[in-house]
Amino acid sequence: MYETPDDLQDENLVRTGAIRVYQANDFEGMRLAGRLVAEALDMIAPFVVPGVTTQEIDDRIREYTLERGGLPACLGYKGYAKTVCTSINHVVCHGIPGDRVLKDGDIVNIDHTVIVDGWHGDSSRMYSVGNINARAKKLIDVTYESLRLGLEQVKPGNTFGDIGYAIQRYVEDNRMSVVRDFCGHGIGRLFHDAPNVLHYGRRGEGAKLEPGMFFTVEPMVNLGKPHVKVLSDGWTAVTRDKSLSAQCEHTIGVTEDGLEIFTASPAGLFRPN
Ligand code: MF3
Ligand code: CO
Ligand code: CO
């Protein structure tokens, strides 16, 4: 006898390519998962200071999450061995926590996903370590604003292309670039579900948004060119030109008249000033 992974015992929990539409009841599950991620990202803020290692951040977030009944979704995901991703400076995404010590002037994205009662919440934010320079500050500001503008497009009848267009236009108007090699994703009972949510595109293109769709928007923005490469560890994605990169991510649900942000910060810390 061998065991079938839980996710595959139920044929409804396999990525089919179709965009899932959830029911009104399902929003409550997403709220609980989203809130726990947001609380963990709030909790860690005072610890993201010069001298701390990314492993200490990972340990704190793992303990915090487990104590509150959440499962770290990244831990063991496709062989990933940590709870969060910590992506520093020119690391675009999927930086692996370890003995790297944060130093004054670093910018770091912390990306965390939890499972609560089978529902996934996925969010990331930027943290400034000590004093950062004006270019880094501008990059973070543009990245947050691009996410905000993308989310402003989320309402029934608009399309995924409207979201991508809003993000791309704002980023490029600021002479920065949108990473093409990674995208947002459907989420809910699955961590990474259809569709791929592109952070660039054309107005009116792509699938139409419908109430009950759950997905992430998570633009990665580079000060230089958009091109990335993945290091030999198989995870860490960096800018090819070594330029600084930033990202932020929310998990949202489409409602009758707009959206609900499941990963909004209870402490109002999503976008630090
Ligand atoms: N949280 C990331 C996302 O936004 C995925 C990280 S997968 C991991 O989709 F395995 F690297 F953790
Ligand atoms: Co995500
Ligand atoms: Co994420």
What's the pLDDT tens digit per position in 192-216? 999 999 999 999 999 999 999 999 9
Cα of 62 from ligand 3 centre, angstroms: 15
Residue with tokens 């604003």: 145
Nearest CA to ligand 1 atom 11: 94
Mutate to test the pocket of ligand 1, among 77, 109, 182, 220 (most ligand atoms within 8 A of CB): 77
Residue 252 and residue 151 in contact, taking contact as beta carbons nearer than 8 Å: yes
Q: Tell me: the pLDDT tens digits for 236-252?
A: 999 999 999 999 999 99
Among protein residues, the one whose CA lies closest to atom 12 of ligand 1: 74
For ligand 1, mutation pick of 65, 74, 183 (most atoms within 8 Å of CB): 74
d(CA 255, CA 81): 35
Rounded CA separation 216/114 (Å): 14
Domain residue spans in the chain? 19-261
How far is the centre of ligand 2, averaged over its atoms, from the C-alpha of 186 (Å)?
Answer: 9
Pair 102, 53: CB distance under 8 Å: yes
**CATH class as words, domain 19-261:** alpha beta
29-60 confidence digits (pLDDT tens): 999 999 999 999 999 999 999 999 999 999 99
pLDDT digits (tens, 9 = 90+) for 107-153: 999 999 999 999 999 999 999 999 999 999 999 999 999 999 999 99
Instruction: Locate 194 and state its tokens.
Output: 């259809």
Is the CB of residue 240 less than 8 Å from the CB of residue 227?
Answer: yes
